[in-house]
Amino acid sequence: MRKIFLLAVVGLLFSCNALQAQSKKNPWTPLDSLHEYCYLCHNEQHLIRDPYEHTKKKEWRFVLSSGVVLATGIIMGYTDKTKPYTEAELAGLDKNKINSIDRSAINNWSPATSTASDAMLVGISLIPIMFFSENHTKKDIKSLIVLSLETFAFNYGLTNIVKTTVNRPRPYVYNTSLPPSTRTDAESRLSFYSGHTSQTAAATFLFAKVMSDYHPNMRLGLKTGIWIFAATIPALEAYFRVKGGKHYPTDVMTGYALGAFSGWIIPELHRGFHFKKAKKSNFNVGFVPIGNGMQMVMGLSF
């Protein structure tokens, strides 16, 4: 399974590089001065636009906000006084108190699957590097890396805040076939919600969102493929975490939803600056003589 995942990532990287190389080889004819050639876009015509506003004056708000969430999560993690279960407490646990959806996960245990989920987490967290491989995102790479770090900081901080607040026992705590040393380890009360799933979802949805925002006229098949990739990878990660015995189904479902939200909302809020700027623009109407009549001219200035 790990080999399949690595091949998928390598294939996606190769495809992006191939598309970029193709865009440099093919001749093109722009529709007008507002368009340029782009192999990713429909009819190979890319509308020249910047979906985000990259200004330090406004960016600091996101840096500060995500930094506060991250710092809060880290501090809560270090100051969490909740102690792992003792062997005596294990004897008093009742699996019948777990809801029917999550109860199916208590006998899962696979260290190999857990290791595969760790490898997937690391690999997918590097996905912002792919912004280097596309001509239109590459020109804003510094801003996009900052945006990616903001997304990851917000998501990681939020995950830690919830984990240390809820202190839900992991499913393997109820697995009597495991040795007590495993069932009472330091992470035995950090089940809700899945940080692996949320981080993976944040990374893939961030990638799909940014690529879609930069290419609103992207080829339908390519756009569909990118969003299928974004939705499938965290779902696979969620499966690994449940199969490995680290999380309940509701842990990974919550992690998926909040991670996807983090990956979508941070770029979307950056788009909000762009729209606010457009709302303040001036709309002008005028008339100019032409032949035996008049022609109305309309213009939008920023």
Report field, pTM of the whole predicted structure over 0.75: yes
pLDDT at 202: 98
Tell me the average pLDDT of the chain: 84
Given a cut of 80, whether residue 274 has pLDDT beyond it is: no
> Which tens digit of pLDDT belongs to each residue from 68-95?
999 999 999 999 988 888 888 998 899 9
pLDDT at 11: 52
pLDDT at 141: 94
pLDDT band at 263 (very low <50, low <70, confident <90, very high): very high
Given a cut of 70, whether residue 34 has pLDDT beyond it is: yes
Best-predicted range by mean pLDDT (8-17, 132-141, 181-190, 235-244): 235-244
Give the amino acid at 294. M
> Which tens digit of pLDDT belongs to each residue from 194-242?
999 999 999 999 999 999 999 999 999 999 999 999 999 999 999 999 9
Specify the higher pLDDT residue, 153 or 6: 153
pLDDT band at 277 (very low <50, low <70, confident <90, very high): very low
Specify the higher pLDDT residue, 139 or 13: 139
Report the pLDDT averaged over residues 154-178: 96
